[in-house]
Amino acid sequence: MGLAEPATPLLKGELDGIPMHIIHVETRPQAEVGIKLDGIVDEPIWQTLPYYDNLIGSVPATGKPGEYPSEFRVLATEKGLYVSAVLYQPPETINNRFTKRDAQGERDTIGITIDSTGTGTFAYWFILSASGTIQDGKVLPVRRYNTVWDGTWLHKTAHFSEGWSAEMFFPWSMMTLPKVPSDYREIGFAFSRQVSHNNQRLFWPGHPYSSRQFVSALNTMQLNGKKKRKLI
């Protein structure tokens, strides 16, 4: 863990002083990635990818980086999107509370929001806790969340001496993917982290909850185009 260098994303723009970014996501053949989804970010391919540590405080809205480092990596294949996270913090502070699917609660979590159409009209959201429990659903502008939709994504967490880690896989088949005319696709995304013991929520981009935009003001990832999928 932590062998690759941090990435410097391109600036996309700002909303009320909060920067939004563009990243390029590498695409590899599914047969070659060799990722075992066990929550341990130790596969060689992860170490070839730069990580992103751009979370800033949204609750409270400090606009500053959090107390603990977070390393997110992203990789695409023809089957879906892999995301890994290495979350540093003292192990004794990690809240491992277990809840049923889609239940609210104070715990340590990470999240990803994916606007697979890139239009800013709706997005899928996914939350994974340190104990391995999940929440997911859809979000409409501005922050109208629901948990009616349940995705078929894969996820696993693990703990190590300096914190906890996670690996996730999001199949393209569960998302709406409109046809694109070029050889790459633009997808909106956001990362988040909740640190329970200091009551902090961090986001990238770090729009506060009072922001007038969210789904329409995400970061952008650029990757190879995929075939059109039916609306789910």
Rg value, the chain, Cα: 16
With bands split at pLDDT 50, 70 and 90, how would you rate the model's confidence at 100?
low
Q: Is the pLDDT of residue 229 over 50?
A: no
Q: What is the pLDDT of residue 209?
A: 78
- At 180, the pLDDT band (50, 70, 90 cuts) reads confident
Q: What is the mean pLDDT of residues 83-90?
A: 98
Inter-residue long-range contacts of 148-157, CB under 8 Å, 24+ positions, other chains counted:
149/124, 149/232, 150/101, 150/102, 151/124, 151/126, 153/126, 154/37, 155/37, 155/128, 156/37, 156/38, 156/39, 156/132, 157/39, 157/128, 157/129, 157/130, 157/131, 157/132
Number of domains in the chain: 1
The residue segments making up the domain with residue 147 are 10-224
- Domain membership flag for residue 19: yes
Give the pLDDT confidence score for residue 1 in this predicted structure.
58
Whether 102 shows a pLDDT value over 60: the answer reads no
Q: Could you identify the residue written with the tokens 């075992």?
A: 36
Q: For position 12, what pLDDT does the model report?
A: 96
Give the model confidence (pLDDT) of 128-140 as tens digits: 999 999 999 999 8
| Residue 232 domain-assigned (yes or no) | no
Task: Identify whether 218 is part of a domain.
Answer: yes
Q: What is the largest CA-CA distance in the chain?
A: 50
Residue 164 confidence (pLDDT): 98
CATH code, domain with 18: 2.60.40.1190
For residues 112 and 123, is the Cβ–Cβ distance under 8 A? no
Q: What gap in Å lies between CA 214 and CA 121, rounded to an integer? A: 10
User: Could you report the per-residue pLDDT of 13-72, keeping only the tens digit for each?
Assistant: 999 889 999 999 999 999 999 999 999 999 999 999 999 999 999 888 788 999 999 999
Q: What proportion of the chain, given as a percentage, has pLDDT over 70? A: 91
Give the pairing of strands 70-76 and 154-160. unpaired
Which string of b and e fits 85-101 if b means at least 16 CB within 10 Å?
bbbbbeeeebbbeeeee
Residue 231's pLDDT is what? 38
- Region 177-190: mean pLDDT is 87
pLDDT of residue 146: 87
What pLDDT, in 10s, does the model give residues 190-223?
A: 999 999 999 999 999 998 877 878 899 999 999 9
Chain-wide mean pLDDT for the chain? 90
